[in-house]
Amino acid sequence: MDKWEEQIRLKANPQLPVSVEHRMNETLRSLPKKKTYPRFYYSAAAIFIVGFLLFGISFMSPTLAETMRSVPVIGSIFKMVGDIGTEKGEEEGLTTLLGQQVEVNGQVITFTESLYDGSQIHIGYLIESYTQVDHKQSTDFLSDLWLTIDGKGVSYGMGGRGEELKNGDYAGVISIKIREELPENFTLGIKSKKEKSLDVELPIKKQGTNQAFLVNELLETQDLTIQVDKVTFFPTSTEIAMRQIMDEKTYNNNKYEWMDYQVIDDQGRVLQPLSGGGSGGLSKGKIVQTLKQYFEPLENIPKSLTIKPYLWDVTEEKAEEVRAKWEGKQLVLPQGEIGETSVLDIKSEDGIVTLTVETTGDNGYFQSNSIWIEDTNGNAYYSENAPKRVEGTTNQYLIQCEAN
């Protein structure tokens, strides 16, 4: 029996996962601040890991070719470490090779590929041997940008994430949501307000089809109205367009500051949240927050979706941790009022420990996202990627932890 299967200890903690907290904080920061009502501000936090496809090197500059050759021949980084949506986009052939380079403070940055299906624009980039130079953060160049569409300035929201490769290069993505309507083909301009050398124009092509459905569903409480306007099924995401309407007093009291949404399809599957953001303003004495929330893409359009608003418990009290030793058979980890998670199987291969878990409770995805493993020395290992639902199941997930 593998040493991990003999020595592994599992922990379950129903408190808010760090990755989820980050996504939620970014979403909430996009909403209007107290007593200010911007009319055209938009922000979306999209957390993705992306890469590039290794082809067409002979048509690139010699410097770019060297940059591409420095990356292990692993195929698409989308497929290897990508988000469930961008991975699906890559599998369907929706990515476009870019291959444009800039040099910022002596650091070569290559914009490798794009993905746009009508929802968000994803741009992959590669930083060559970024650990070998004096730098603060690999993504410093992404701050304070000016974006244009066909030469015209636009309001946008942007998020990003990346991963250091074993050879010292850094692969990452910037994910952009443009508020304005976009044409089928356009040029995305990215220019830094701080670094003059960062000034590129990237051709973007919309690929893939989508289906939109008007909803017009209303939920009213004493001090809050939630209006779901439209659901759009993109190849890379399920987009829910909605509005939250409340009076100024309720808004200033922060009663719904930690509002979030759970989406369940007609098969009972809790959809994985990807990102979200919105704009807000004062209209007829009411605060109107216009939101777009993105969830995992669906292979087939469901007959219905159930949308459940809920409030996060953000008290400082730490949730109780549950520990149990894996002994080669099903292991149940209770998670209090939210339900329980059962570990069905554990396998280890090439330093990657894969757990198969099954959840019982109101939010299967978040329950599966709150588990990590420890060795007998107390060293903890966490999953760097979101849990993946086992195909054909409703509430079984695969969790992978790198534990060399």
Q: Are 210 and 118 in contact (CB under 8 A)?
A: yes
The stretch 183-187 carries a mean pLDDT of: 95
Is the pLDDT at 282 greater than 60? The verdict is yes
pLDDT tens, position by position, 258-277 = 889 999 999 999 999 998 88
Is the pLDDT at 27 greater than 70? The verdict is no
Helices marked H in 30-71: 62-69
Angle at 22 between CA 46 and CA 390, to 5 degrees: 70
Angle at 237 between CA 310 and CA 311, to 5 degrees: 10
The stretch 32-36 carries a mean pLDDT of: 35
Q: What is the mean pLDDT of the chain?
A: 79
Is the pLDDT at 5 greater than 50? The verdict is no
12 or 222, greater pLDDT: 222
> CB under 8 Å, gap of 24 or more: what pairs does 370-373 form?
370/12, 370/13, 370/14, 370/15, 370/17, 370/335, 370/341, 371/10, 371/11, 371/12, 371/333, 371/341, 371/343, 371/399, 372/10, 372/11, 372/401, 373/4, 373/8, 373/9, 373/10, 373/11, 373/401, 373/403
pLDDT tens, position by position, 314-326 = 676 666 788 899 9
Taking the model in full, what pTM does it have?
0.77
pLDDT tens, position by position, 327-374 = 999 999 998 888 999 999 999 988 889 999 999 988 888 889 889 999
pLDDT value of residue 244? 95
Is the pLDDT at 160 greater than 80? The verdict is no
pLDDT value of residue 77? 58
What is the C-alpha separation between 217 and 226, in angstroms, rounded?
8
Is the pLDDT at 22 greater than 70? The verdict is no
Indicate the pLDDT class of residue 158, thresholds 50, 70 and 90: confident
Indicate the pLDDT class of residue 281, thresholds 50, 70 and 90: confident
Is the pLDDT at 41 greater than 90? The verdict is no
106 or 150, greater pLDDT: 150
238 or 46, greater pLDDT: 238
State percent of the chain over pLDDT 90: 39
> What is the token pair recorded at 53?
């496809």
Is the pLDDT at 168 greater than 50? The verdict is yes
Instruction: Please enumerate in sequence order all residues whose Cβ is within 8 A of that of 273, keeping only pairs 6 or more positions apart, or say none.
Output: 20, 23, 260, 263, 293, 294, 295, 365
pLDDT tens, position by position, 381-394 = 998 888 999 989 99
State percent of the chain over pLDDT 70: 75
